């Protein structure tokens, strides 16, 4: 039995970029279980649709590094549900290489997937949610704040995300925006699969091994849910 229009109107509506990934899909399931309505966005519709069907959500195929499709996705969510209460950007990547081995193309890709996608998220939210306010959650990394070997590119990108979180929090404070950045983590096994021997070597000096644990991921997911739903102080950056 479906919800009445009044019940649907009372449900929060969230847009999740990078929804088909590990953190994005888990947060989506938990938001759905809490009664939220979801717009799931990502690069590949074939990966999004099974999750969208499971959660009775809408799917939006976009490149999160391009401004216009990200804004279009939020406007589609607004047209479908009548509002957007929050946006979570889980799009991103990781590159484990020292600076002297990193190519210009690799750096540009890391910056695009992590920093540009975050900027596109804030920009789209500013255009779609500026009058109504809401929550915006960006993903950062401990690499942006402490020295981790072979994390130069991702550290630079995520440091930019932290600055990006703080500035619009001041710009749009009067509109009731809540911006926060969560230190997510990529499971160690995924790092090894993506980077082979280099990834295994980097993990010896990185906290990613313990951060790949189920306990750590659960803490991240809970923190993200809190950041999306709370009315806590704007511009709060906390560790998961």
pLDDT value for 228 = 62
Residue 3 lies in a domain: no
Is 41 a member of any domain? yes
* Beta bridge partner(s), residue 136: 87, 179
Q: Is residue 2 part of a domain?
A: no
Q: Which residues of the chain have pLDDT under 70?
A: 1-8, 183-240
Bridge partners (DSSP) of residue 168 are none
Range(s) of the domain holding residue 193: 12-229
Widest pairwise Cα distance in the chain: 59
**Is 238 inside a domain boundary?**
no
Q: Is residue 71 part of a domain?
A: yes
Q: Is residue 151 part of a domain?
A: yes
How many domains are there within the chain?
Answer: 1
Residue 1 domain-assigned?
Answer: no
Structure tokens at 206: 């990185």
Q: What is the pLDDT of residues 143-156, one digit of tens each?
A: 888 888 999 999 99
Its pTM stands at 0.78
Query: Strands, E, within the chain: which ranges?
Result: 13-17, 37-42, 58-61, 86-89, 134-140, 177-183, 236-238
What pLDDT score does 142 carry?
Answer: 83
* Domain CATH for 214: 3.40.50.720
pLDDT at 1: 44
């Amino acid at each position: 039995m479906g919800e009445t229009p009044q019940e649907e109107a009372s449900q929060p509506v969230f847009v999740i970029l990078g929804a088909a990934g590990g953190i994005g899909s888990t947060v989506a399931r938990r938001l759905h279980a809490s009664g939220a309505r979801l717009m799931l966005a990502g690069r590949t519709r074939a990966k999004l649709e099974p999750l969208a069907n499971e959660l009775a959500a809408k799917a939006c195929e976009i490149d999160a590094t391009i401004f216009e499709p990200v804004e279009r996705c939020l406007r589609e969510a607004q047209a479908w549900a009548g509002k957007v209460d929050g946006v979570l950007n889980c799009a991103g990547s990781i590159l484990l290489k020292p600076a002297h081995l990193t190519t210009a193309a690799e750096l540009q890709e890391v910056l695009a997937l992590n920093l540009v996608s975050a900027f596109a998220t804030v920009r789209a939210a500013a255009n779609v949610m500026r009058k109504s306010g809401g929550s915006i959650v960006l993903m950062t990394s401990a690499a942006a704040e402490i020295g981790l070997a072979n994390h130069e590119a991702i550290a630079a990108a995520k440091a930019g995300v932290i600055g990006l979180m703080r500035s619009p929090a001041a710009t749009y404070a009067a509109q009731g925006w809540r911006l926060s950045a969560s230190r997510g983590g990529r499971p160690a096994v995924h790092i090894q699969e993506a980077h082979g021997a280099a990834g295994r070597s980097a993990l010896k000096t990185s906290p990613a091994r313990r951060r790949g644990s189920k306990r750590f991921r659960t803490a991240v997911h809970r923190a993200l849910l809190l950041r999306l739903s709370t009315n806590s102080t704007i511009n709060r950056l906390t560790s998961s």
